[in-house]
Chain A
């Protein structure tokens, strides 16, 4: 079926706008779109989006992570073998992480990473034909915010929810960060790590995130004030 931008799409649909834009110049196809011989077809169900001048993608619902280059993910170290760590990031096969891809790591100075540790890392190699590889440094050799996450609490959610709360227009984090202090790391693989001062506050952040999945912006703001008042009432 023929569809337009911002329409609900199903796999097998096509949009003439993409095809005509493709004839004029370069088009960037995001997730959920695929070129077949001379036409672009939609491969995922969701909403077709466009960002000017010519970037197209489909906002779709997904729970299973498929690695993609440059994304920040949260993984668990599952194995230490020689020079590499194997890290479970939720994809079909575990990602590899060299012990040299940590800040200030050398052959002598090995990073202290144990099996079972939680890592915040960047996807370096993500190809469908190869094992994914992650690193805990940026291109300047600095760790930035990457590395082992100590203490805190990790929970799983859908990939959309992570994208939603990281969207600058989403009021969730903006609202709760003013209410009480906490640390948060969101992995694009549908895992979120949080750390707050007390157990009660940690759970409050987690619940707020999970509850916001199907809420609109206004509802999220309401919910945040509700949670804050409940929390404050009990703490004081």
Chain B
């Protein structure tokens, strides 16, 4: 327990590892592991699009989520919706009218905090693809254990016993809240505290993004 309590104080997140350009054929791709949770995302676009889903003033964003089992479910639609709405705010879609940008996300390993891992992977893949973006975004998850403590980036064990889980996505400009989704019941004060903690923890994700970009930007120039 000692280590966990330290985690809370030091805003430590699970160790993140990432490889950009993981797939050779897509326009942008990223594989990201946060602890044991792993997701793979690929971005294609701007591409040609069918007349019916074409928008004359902005590009259409399509998100496809593939779970490990491979069978589509209502839950997948929900995840796709979260990812799409979040990415839509980040992409400068008005620069690519009458086109489509597709994001495909493949679940590889889910050991807790999977959806926030997906969101971060999607962001890295977008960064890699060179699509113009308003800002980058970072997703942080936290859980409320039965004693009322807030745990950042809970493990699967912690999630099973948690009273509530909360997920927040912040933008990189003002760190304002882009997306939030929660499970379970909690008080208003807990919500505010969790929000504040995740907000400060999002700095770590952003600096991780910067490190990743630093690594490969030295050689491309």
Residues in chain A within 8 A of chain B (CB atoms): 1, 8-13, 32, 34, 41, 43-47, 49, 59-64, 66, 91-93, 128-129, 159-160, 164, 213-216
Residues in chain B within 8 A of chain A (CB atoms): 21, 27-28, 44-49, 90, 92, 95-99, 127-130, 132-136, 171-173, 206, 209-210, 213-214, 216-217, 219-221
List chain A residues, Cβ under 8 A from B221.
Answer: 47, 49, 59, 160, 164
List chain B residues, Cβ under 8 A from A12.
Answer: 133-136, 171-173
List chain B residues, Cβ under 8 A from A9.
Answer: 213
Task: Select which of A13, A61, A63, A92 is within 8 A of B216 by beta carbon.
Answer: A61
Are A8 and B129 closer than 8 Å at their CB atoms? Answer: no
Are A8 and B97 closer than 8 Å at their CB atoms? Answer: no
Task: Select which of A49, A60, A63 is within 8 A of B27 by beta carbon.
Answer: A63
List chain A residues, Cβ under 8 A from B45.
Answer: 64, 92
- Cα distance, A128 to B96, chains bound together (Å): 6
B174 smallest CB distance to A (angstroms): 9
List chain A residues, Cβ under 8 A from B95.
Answer: 128
27 interchain pairs (CB within 8 A)?
A8-B210, A8-B213, A10-B136, A10-B172, A12-B135, A12-B136, A12-B171, A34-B132, A45-B128, A45-B213, A46-B213, A49-B221, A60-B130, A61-B216, A63-B28, A63-B130, A64-B44, A64-B45, A64-B46, A92-B98, A93-B48, A93-B99, A129-B98, A160-B220, A160-B221, A213-B219, A215-B219
List chain A residues, Cβ under 8 A from B127.
Answer: 10-11, 45
Are B210 and A10 closer than 8 Å at their CB atoms? Answer: yes
- Cα distance, A41 to B172, chains bound together (Å): 12
Are A62 and B130 closer than 8 Å at their CB atoms? Answer: yes
B48 smallest CB distance to A (angstroms): 5
Are B97 and A43 closer than 8 Å at their CB atoms? Answer: no
B19 smallest CB distance to A (angstroms): 13
Task: Select which of B47, B49, B134, B220 is within 8 A of A61 by beta carbon.
Answer: B220
Known: A92-B96, A128-B95. A11 touches B133 (CB 8 A): yes
- Cα distance, A44 to B95, chains bound together (Å): 13
List chain A residues, Cβ under 8 A from B27.
Answer: 62-64
List chain A residues, Cβ under 8 A from B206.
Answer: 1, 10
Task: Select which of A11, A64, A66, A216 is within 8 A of B219 by beta carbon.
Answer: A216
A211 smallest CB distance to B (angstroms): 12
- Cα distance, A34 to B135, chains bound together (Å): 12
Q: Given A9-B213, A159-B130, 13 other A-B contacts at CB below 8 A?
A: A8-B217, A12-B134, A44-B130, A45-B127, A46-B220, A61-B220, A63-B129, A64-B45, A66-B96, A92-B99, A164-B221, A213-B219, A213-B220
A50 smallest CB distance to B (angstroms): 13
- Cα distance, A10 to B216, chains bound together (Å): 13
A91 smallest CB distance to B (angstroms): 8
Are B219 and A214 closer than 8 Å at their CB atoms? Answer: yes
Are B173 and A59 closer than 8 Å at their CB atoms? Answer: no
List chain A residues, Cβ under 8 A from B171.
Answer: 12
List chain B residues, Cβ under 8 A from A47.
Answer: 217, 221
- Cα distance, A10 to B135, chains bound together (Å): 8
List chain B residues, Cβ under 8 A from A164.
Answer: 220-221
- The residue on B at minimum CB distance from A10 is B136
B42 smallest CB distance to A (angstroms): 11
- Cα distance, A102 to B205, chains bound together (Å): 53
A214 smallest CB distance to B (angstroms): 5
Are B47 and A8 closer than 8 Å at their CB atoms? Answer: no
Are B46 and A43 closer than 8 Å at their CB atoms? Answer: no
Task: Select which of A11, A214, A216 is within 8 A of B172 by beta carbon.
Answer: A11
- Cα distance, A121 to B153, chains bound together (Å): 52
- Cα distance, A230 to B45, chains bound together (Å): 40
List chain A residues, Cβ under 8 A from B21.
Answer: 61
B202 smallest CB distance to A (angstroms): 12
B204 smallest CB distance to A (angstroms): 14
- Cα distance, A61 to B49, chains bound together (Å): 24
Are B136 and A34 closer than 8 Å at their CB atoms? Answer: no
Known: A60-B130, A128-B96. A66 touches B136 (CB 8 A): no
- Cα distance, A12 to B170, chains bound together (Å): 12
